[in-house]
Amino acid sequence: MKAYFPILNWLPRYKRTYLSGDISAGLTVGIMLIPQGMAYAMIAGLPPVYGLYAALIPQIIYAIMGTSRQIAIGPVAMDSLLIASGLGALSISGIENYIAMAIFLSLFIGTIQILLGFLKMGFLVNFLSRPVISGFTSAAALIIGISQLKHLLGISISSNKTLPILKQTFSQLDQINPLAVVVGLSGIGIMLLLKRIHSQIPTAIVVVILGIAMAYFTPITDYGLQLVGKIPEGLPGFKVPEIPWSELGQLFTLALAMALIAFMEVVSIGKALEEKVKTSRLVPNQELIALGTGNIVGSFFQCYPTTAGFSRTAVNFQAGAKTGVAALISAALVGLTLLFLTPVFYYLPNAILASIIMLAITSLIDLKYPKELYKNQKDEFALLIVTFLITLFVGIQEGIILGVLFSLLLMVYRTSKPHMAVLGQIKGTTYFKNVNRFATDIIERKDILVVRFDAQLFFGNKDYFYSELNKHIMSKGPQLKTVIINAEAINYIDSSAIYILKHLILELREKDILLMIAAATGPTRDILFKTGVTEMLGPENLFVRVVEAVEFIDGIHPRTEIEDRVSRQSF
């Protein structure tokens, strides 16, 4: 029960000190959800009230079943755009049918997510490397900030893409509302000042109250300051989603794509938070089940698909959320708003919400990690930058998907050209080390070549292994009589590499060069025996340690002693 309902783990150990942070974060995120939910529903082509419905039930489910205590679940802009584009491509007549299709999509996506969770497909997120997550998160944070420019500047922008937003912003510089700029910047300034006075002050709530009071008691709205406005009343009722059997085939691709993208978004946000929060760890398979359950249950209460929101999660974390109680408070506030509080939030300026979001995203932008990568690992730095640029200028889902693809290509490239070291014996010892690292203390013989291949041998690097080994053989010249492969780092050899090994044995034999293998692990030796490599090599040329192979060549140890050691190690 605790595995499927993590609330049973943290709720009994809930501390009183958590409550102030949870209340502050819950109220702040709840306030944000009201205008955001309505706006995102409109992006999806739905009536605004459906965004508030989506901010209610899935949030409660995630607080009970989710493994992150800071992630904020609800409607998001990117998924709303995907719904609009996906359903817009179908022949749907009438707004009622469109709404029914969007609600069914939530049921469909949730079913796929739960199925993936129970099938333990959460391992897919293991391919989200830290450079990809860092680049993706930083770019997404900037996208969120750029999207708030219209509220901060008091202008009208129709696009949700970075470059069009910037282009429209520069084309409307003469239409900027100075009052909106002053209100937004004042909100940021007040929050920064209050944070310096005391870190526990709920800064976002303070500026929201000040913003509402200013708009209510002064004629400031007469100067074009945009407010949240009227919010529809009433809680969502229970209704079984209609299943469009004739459209299932067309909806499957969209549902599968959205299920995976929503999961990746949650895990990306969760992993970014793990760097800052040490009290909980994300469990990918349970996240799939929690997301899926939220979408399924939500679909029975007229919710369209939901996932984690970057801006709300950032605000949730910055406002001091410690547990899922913050999400329950957010959901309660949305519910109370639908029932009773719509007149209160009517006067909330959009510029104040923009200031809260823009200050919150600063915690998601990581500059230290890219600097470390640039100094130490240029290839991973390039991966981070590519992911960042694609996410920022192409799209969020393209950024994460292509980032994962590029990280896999980088991994394949590395495994196709692993490290190969030429070893020499350190003077006065039985140790063999890389000649490039211990140049002054190494005994390097002309008649013996000792190499260490630091990876498994498989079809992707067999040709590299063969060519690099031949380069070292050629560099030794005609005095070379024996090649010893130190196989301690080779944990597997596939059939393609076995073929290369057999070919190498015969090729070296024609050149009167003897091939020996030393320090192979048990599983690797089993492969050598089963595939006939040992028989072709000769059991007498398989050694436990490199030094024993060299001593046998020099006649220091008899063969029978070495064979006994190999026999004991092999079986």
Please return the burial class of 65, using the count of CB atoms within 10 Å of its CB with bins 0-12, 13-18 and 19+: buried
At residue 279 the predicted structure's pLDDT band, cuts being 50, 70 and 90, is low
Q: How far is CA 551 from the centre of its chain?
A: 51
> Which pLDDT tens digit goes with each residue over 141-200?
888 788 888 889 988 887 767 888 899 999 998 999 999 999 999 999 999 999 899 876
Contact 424, 450 (CB under 8 A): yes
Mean of all residue pLDDT scores within the chain: 87
292 CB-side CA count, 13 A: 22
278 or 306: whose pLDDT is higher? 306
What are the CB-based long-range contacts (under 8 Å, 24+) for 250-257? 250/90, 251/86, 251/90, 251/101, 251/104, 251/105, 251/108, 252/108, 254/82, 254/86, 254/87, 254/105, 255/105, 255/108, 255/109, 255/112, 256/112, 257/82, 257/397
- Looking at residue 561, what is its pLDDT? 47
Angle, alpha carbons 155-160-166 (nearest 5°): 55
The residue ranking higher by pLDDT, 454 or 268, is 454
* Confidence category of residue 328, pLDDT binned at 50, 70, 90: very high
Query: What is the rounded average pLDDT of the residues 121-131?
Result: 78
Residue 424 confidence (pLDDT): 92
- Could you please report the per-residue DSSP string of 482-528? EEEEE-TT---B-HHHHHHHHHHHHHHHHTT-EEEEES--HHHHHHH
Amino acid in the structure at residue 416: S
Res. 422: pLDDT tops 80:
yes
Q: Is the pLDDT of residue 557 over 80?
A: no
Q: What confidence category does residue 565 fall into, taking pLDDT thresholds of 50, 70 and 90?
A: very low
Asked whether the beta carbons of 241 and 352 are under 8 A apart, the reply is no
Residues in contact with 104: Cβ distance below 8 Å, sequence separation at least 6, in sequence order: 241, 242, 243, 244, 251, 299
Q: How many degrees, rounded to 5, is the angle at CA 332 between CA 150 and CA 83? A: 50
Contact 269/291 with Cβ under 8 angstroms?
A: no
**Spatial separation of the C-alpha atoms in residues 258 and 109, rounded to whole Å:** 7
CB atoms within 10 A of CB 454: 12
What's the one-letter identity of residue 237? Answer: G
| β-bridge mates for residue 450, sequence order | 423, 484
Predicted pLDDT at 142: 86
Task: Answer whether 142's CB lies under 8 Å from 367's CB.
Answer: no
CA separation for the pair 107, 111 (Å, rounded): 6
Q: Answer yes or no: pTM beyond 0.85.
A: no
Distances (CA, A) of 496 to 189, 460, 502: 64, 9, 10
**DSSP codes, 446-481:** SSEEEEEE-S-B-TTTHHHHHHHHHHHHHHH-TT--
Strands 448-453 and 420-426: antiparallel
Q: How many residues does the chain have?
A: 571
For the stretch 448-500, pLDDT in tens is 999 999 999 999 999 999 999 999 999 998 999 999 999 999 999 999 999 99
Q: Please check the confidence at residue 139 and state whether its pLDDT lies above 70.
A: yes
pLDDT tens, residue by residue, 505-514: 999 999 999 9
